Amino acid sequence: MTIVACSTPPGTSGIAVVRISGKDAIKNVSNFIKDCPFNEKSPGSKICLLVDKDGLIFDEAVVTSYLGPNSYTGENLVEVSCHGNPNIISKIIDLSVGGGASLAEPGEFTKRAFLNGRLDLSEAESVSAIIHSKSIAGVKAGVKNLKGGLSKKIGLIKSDLVSVVANLEFNLDISEEDLQPNLIKNSKGALSKSVETLKSCVDAFNETRMFQLGASVVILGPPNAGKSTLFNLLVNKNQSIVTEIEGTTRDVVEKNINIDGLPILLKDTAGIRESNNRVEKIGVERSLAEEKNADLVIYLNNAGRSFSKDKYIHVFNKSDINTPDGDYDVIISAKTGDNIQKLKETIYKALINEDIEHDTFLTSKRQCIAVESALKHVKDALSLLLGGDSLELIVEDINRSIDFLDSITSKTTKDDVLDEVFSSFCVGK
């Protein structure tokens, strides 16, 4: 079946790209390209006139045709780069559909690339990661995977595990005294190494997620602590209302910022206190809900509260007029801007653990769950090995973990997994 969609965002633009993919793609576009210069033998790029059914010219476009399997989708593919007028775009799509094409589902071009063996599943997922990343670091992670970075790393772990299984299986029917020398020691070494590598993939996932989707950072604290003043300073805009009246902020005020390339959704909240005012009470409830879901909480001026270390930064504000009443991580003045650079560094460090090796990135939750499951089975195998259990059981656990690793890149994957992966794409990709 031939499919068609606009691959560029909706609306008016200098240029828009409509893609048509499928066996009949070239025949399909000849319906609306005047004197179509393409055929199954001559792909390439040409300036063409686009005509409607009456032969009237409605645009001039650069048209590129690719012959399968040498195209993004692995099948015949035509890209029409027309002027970015929504009327022109829908005209092209209408004429293509009139010529027998169907409208593409979200992600259908990439799904075809996967089904035609042009990409493995982790590479296809990286396309979505590249499109949706909120930072250049997230994009780089995606590009690395698109070039097979993750598949390669997973492949190496897998081949280590496969060789352990092969050696163990070779010794299955042999009595304990006659086992290959060093079999147990070497297997332990290989399994421990796999545990470490898989663990580092999982540890890095949370941070990759932050570079791709952004971290949620919430400013919390008692009324009048200077939360909105700090918020305005960090977003570089007078966005949140500041007054000396306690209980000024009620709604959660949000803005995207960027600290050292890390995308952050910063949130200013209502000051936390007991209140009889109905509106303020709702504001406080919202603050507490934000606290729960945050990746990081900047807690202002409340030395009395104890916090779990990894999610909270304890900040003393108004250092220009007061001295700290307890132990704080950072001491600032939101009014004068004093020590704000240190606060930004502290925020970054709290979100990103620089000790973690960032050479491999998992770019989807699905990949992370698969790696976690593989890790669990390798750990189980290792403890069985250490406990002197039967080799059969150990082999079974290792095989399960290999299955999970296979599911990350697999070329033959169940339909429901495929649907989940590709439904997150946009139409036209």
Ligand X SMILES: Nc1nc2c(ncn2[C@@H]2O[C@H](COP(=O)(O)OP(=O)(O)OP(=O)(O)O)[C@@H](O)[C@H]2O)c(=O)[nH]1
User: If you count DSSP H runs as helices and E runs as strands, how many of each does the chain have, helices first?
Assistant: 13, 12
Which position among 91, 112, 118, 227 is part of the footprint of ligand X (CB under 6 A)?
Answer: 227
Q: Give the separation between CA 380 and CA 84, rounded to whole angstroms.
A: 57
Which position among 43, 68, 214, 226 is part of the footprint of ligand X (CB under 6 A)?
Answer: 226
Residue 199: which of 355, 391, 91, 303 has the closest Cα?
Answer: 355
Indicate the residue among 158 and 227 with the shorter CB distance to Mg ion: 227
Does residue 339 interact with ligand X by CB under 6 A? no
Q: Provide the phi-psi class of 226: left if phi over 0, else alpha when psi is between -120 and 50, else beta.
A: left
- Residue 128's binding partner out of Mg ion, ligand X, none, with CB under 5 to 8 Å set by partner kind: none
Indicate the residue among 197 and 248 with the shorter CB distance to Mg ion: 248
Indicate the residue among 320 and 420 with the shorter CB distance to ligand X: 320
Does residue 74 interact with ligand X by CB under 6 A? no
Q: Which residue has the tokens 């970054």?
A: 348
Stretch that binds ligand X, among 68-76, 123-131, 191-199, 224-232 (CB under 6 A): 224-232
- Residue 360's binding partner out of ligand X, Mg ion, none, with CB under 5 to 8 Å set by partner kind: none
- Residue 71's binding partner out of ligand X, Mg ion, none, with CB under 5 to 8 Å set by partner kind: none
CB atoms within 10 A of CB 251: 13
Residue 418: which of 97, 119, 9, 22 has the closest Cα?
Answer: 119
Asked whether 129 and 142 are in contact (CB, 8 A), the reply is yes
Residue 363: which of 152, 119, 138 has the closest Cα?
Answer: 138
Asked whether 39 and 76 are in contact (CB, 8 A), the reply is no
Q: Say how far residue 147 (Cα) sits from the centre of its chain.
A: 16
Smallest distance from the beta carbon of 285 to ligand X, in angstroms?
14
Binding mask 201-230 for Mg ion (x = CB under 5 A): --------------------------xx--
- Residue 225's binding partner out of Mg ion, ligand X, none, with CB under 5 to 8 Å set by partner kind: ligand X
Q: Which residue has the tokens 């602590």?
A: 225
Does residue 251 interact with ligand X by CB under 6 A? no
Beta-strand (E) ranges in 134-197? none
Does residue 269 interact with Mg ion by CB under 5 A? no
Q: Give the separation between CA 201 and CA 194, rounded to whole angstroms.
A: 11
Does residue 249 interact with Mg ion by CB under 5 A? yes
Which position among 37, 99, 148, 247 is part of the footprint of ligand X (CB under 6 A)?
Answer: 247
Asked whether 351 and 262 are in contact (CB, 8 A), the reply is yes
Smallest distance from the beta carbon of 336 to ligand X, in angstroms?
7
Which position among 267, 318, 366, 377 is part of the footprint of ligand X (CB under 6 A)?
Answer: 318
CB atoms within 10 A of CB 407: 20
- Residue 244's binding partner out of Mg ion, ligand X, none, with CB under 5 to 8 Å set by partner kind: ligand X
Binding mask 261-300 for ligand X (x = CB under 6 A): ---------xx-----------------------------
In sequence order, the 6+-apart residues with CB closer than 8 A to the CB of 277 are 247
SS3 category, 42: strand
Q: Give the separation between CA 317 and CA 227, rounded to whole angstroms.
A: 9
Indicate the residue among 341 and 390 with the shorter CB distance to ligand X: 341
Measured at CB, which residue is nearest to ligand X? 271
Alpha-carbon Rg of the chain, whole angstroms? Answer: 28
Does residue 324 interact with ligand X by CB under 6 A? no
Indicate the residue among 262 and 334 with the shorter CB distance to ligand X: 334
Tokens of 43: 């792909």
Which position among 65, 317, 363, 407 is part of the footprint of ligand X (CB under 6 A)?
Answer: 317
- Residue 267's binding partner out of Mg ion, ligand X, none, with CB under 5 to 8 Å set by partner kind: none
Please classify residue 55 by burial: count the beta carbons closer than 10 Å to its beta carbon, then call 0-12 exposed, 13-18 middle and 19+ buried: exposed
Using CB under 5 A, list all residues that contact Mg ion: 227-228, 248-249
Using CB under 6 A, list all residues that contact ligand X: 223-229, 242-244, 246-249, 270-271, 317-318, 320-321, 333-335
